[in-house]
Amino acid sequence: MPNAAHVSPDEIRKGFSKAMSDMYRDEVPLYGALMELVAEVNARVLDTEPSLAHQLQRTGEIQRLDRERHGAIRLGTAAELATINRLFAVMGMQPVGYYDLTPAGVPVHSTAFRAVHEHALQTSPFRVFTSLLRLELIENPELRAFAETALAKRSIFTPGALALIEQAQNDGGLDAEDAAHFIREALETFRWHHTATVTAAQYQQLSDQHRLIADVVAFKGPHINHLTPRTLDIDQVQAAMPGKGITPKAVIEGPPRRQCPILLRQTSFKALDEAIAFTDAQGSHSARFGEIEQRGVALTPKGRALYDQLLNAARDELGAFPNEGNAARYTQLMEQHFQAFPDNHTQMREQGLAYFRYFVTPKGLAARGHAEQPRTLEALVAAGHVDVEPLVYEDFLPVSAAGIFQSNLGDAAQSHYAAPSNQAAFEQALGRQTIDELKLYAETQQRSMDACLDALLA
């Protein structure tokens, strides 16, 4: 049972996210430069767009903005996924969503570990996009057997981390000292290794099958491969990157630029090759990259269907994978197709395209108990007694994620897999079901509606 001496899982996650960021900054100097650029742009945007600043103040996002990060790891076995699920649970993170990337030529399926309640997200919105390699997609049976053997031999968690996971599960939590110890031990799983567990030739064979397979199988652990800050204006950061010696990918993934951002826009830049000692020779490997993202309103199933439809239409018309050569045309096609998506919050709300949060206004509080106080939520909104703000999207997008994977693996890594998606196998490996993200947004929206009615009409 949890007891008073236990640190809240949200505080452990906050501490872990900070420790991860410090480790990554030490390991990847460009990350520090990117963080500075994002902080500059965010400060400028808040200065020049008072209405956005007001909105973020209302929702509380302004306080979490500068510690908002997501990372990504790639795992090799079902057992690794099951244990990472238990490790993240100690920090109040649960698997949300199922993403199948095989249709896009990346042999993994994934989930995102994150906090699920708006209060917990407020303390720390740290998320980790976690992929599991689909070894069954390695066609060559000897190579598949080799990969399986190599993965079976490794242990990606420290004995200390395993013991503390067990203890947290049995006792219902960790006290402050154990929590600090847990953070140190858990961090080891995500560390970069300069040595590989295979020979240079074995690495090459794995890499020839797919660069991602080599990245998972040839190393001791699932190094964190990027850590992404949240910007309030991704186009400004993208434009300023070359001035800081950073070359971004040609195309920003996700929806086009809009007045009212929806879902998620992302861009990334390639990391340099890093020296690796194979068991028999020196060589190099590149896995770690940089990424930034801009988050917008979460869409309802209806809004998401419209997003997918417009994105697919633009891509079909482009007739190719977006790249440097067709980037300008892609942007133009996206803007053109997305004209069909209303670009103001009132219309999005009226048409049921997005989720929102409802907040009592001072005017509403002042009118409390008066005979003329409106009696329904819609009437309260119309009278200015309740304000409506967009509910931010906390998740990922499969087409965007595939684009990020591809641009960092190189176009040559594009493969074609006919395998069907397999959520059941993923969840079996995970040891539980993934949570439907749409349900979480609907619940947060409903809680905010109920709170307004309680405060004004109860």
* Site for Ni ion, rule CB under 5 A: 228, 291
Closest contact distance (angstroms) between CB of 372 and ligand OOG is 49
Q: b vs e for 217-246, b when ≥16 Cβ sit within 10 Å of the residue's Cβ? A: bbbebbbbbbbbbbbbbbebbbebbeeeeb
Applying CB under 6 A, does 72 fall inside the site for ligand OOG? yes
In this structure, what are the phi and psi dihedrals at residue 267, rounded to the nearest 5 degrees? -140, 155
How far apart are CB 126 and ligand OOG at their closest, in Å?
13
Contact 65, 56 (CB under 8 A): yes
For strands 69-75 and 127-133, give the pairing: parallel
Q: Which is nearer to ligand OOG, 70 or 337 (CB)?
A: 70
Contact residue for ligand OOG among 16, 129, 190, 203 (CB under 6 A): 129
Which of the choices ligand OOG, Ni ion, none does residue 401 contact, using the CB cut-off of 5 to 8 A by kind? Answer: ligand OOG
404 near ligand OOG, judged by CB under 6 A: yes
DSSP string, 22-87: HHHHHH-HHHHHHHHHHHHHHHHHHHH-HHHHHHHHHHSHHHHGGG-EEEEEEE-SHHHHHHHHHH
Residue nearer to Ni ion on the CB measure, 228 or 294:
228
Q: If binding is defined by CB under 6 A, does position 74 make contact with ligand OOG?
A: yes
180-239: contacts with ligand OOG (CB under 6 A): 225
Total interface residues for ligand OOG by CB under 6 A:
12
Contact flags string 405-434 toward ligand OOG, x per CB under 6 A: x-----------------------------
Residue 212: CB minimum distance to ligand OOG, A: 8
Distance of CA 241 to the CA centre of its chain: 21
**Spatial contact of 236 and 155, defined as CB atoms under 8 Å apart:** no
- Least Å distance, CB 170 to Ni ion, is 34
Least CB distance from residue 398 to ligand OOG, whole Å?
8
DSSP line for 251-282: S-BSSPP-SS-BSEEEEEEPPPPEEEE-SSSE
**Closest separation between CB of residue 65 and Ni ion, Å?**
17
Neighbours of 181 (CB within 10 A): 16
Cα–Cα separations (whole angstroms), residue 377 to 355, 389, 447: 15, 14, 13
Binding mask 284-303 for ligand OOG (x = CB under 6 A): -------x------------
Out of Ni ion, ligand OOG, none, what residue 409 binds, judged by CB under 5 to 8 A for its kind, is none
Q: Does 401 bind ligand OOG (CB under 6 A)?
A: yes
Q: For residues 433 and 447, give the distance between their C-alpha atoms in angstroms, rounded to a whole number.
A: 24
Nearest approach in angstroms of CB 141 to Ni ion is: 33
Instruction: List the one residue from 400, 407, 445, 448 that touches ligand OOG (CB under 6 A).
Output: 400
Smallest distance from the beta carbon of 232 to ligand OOG, in angstroms? Answer: 17
Which one of the spans 137-145, 185-193, 345-353, 401-409 is the region binding ligand OOG (CB under 6 A)? 401-409
Shortest distance, position 72 Cβ to ligand OOG, whole Å:
4
Instruction: Please tell me whether residue 77 binds ligand OOG under the rule CB under 6 A.
Output: no
Nearer residue to ligand OOG within complex by CB, 123 or 225: 225
- Alpha-carbon distance 81 to 72, whole Å? 13
Instruction: With beta carbons less than 8 A apart as the criterion, state whether 173 and 6 touch.
Output: yes
Note whether 111 binds ligand OOG by CB under 6 A: no
Q: What angle do CA 67, 71, 76 make, to 5 degrees?
A: 155
DSSP state at residue 105: T
Question: Which CB atom, from 256 or from 342, has the smaller least distance to ligand OOG?
Answer: 256
CB 374 within 8 A of CB 380: yes
Residues near ligand OOG (CB under 6 A) are: 72, 74, 129, 131, 225, 266, 291, 396, 400-401, 404-405
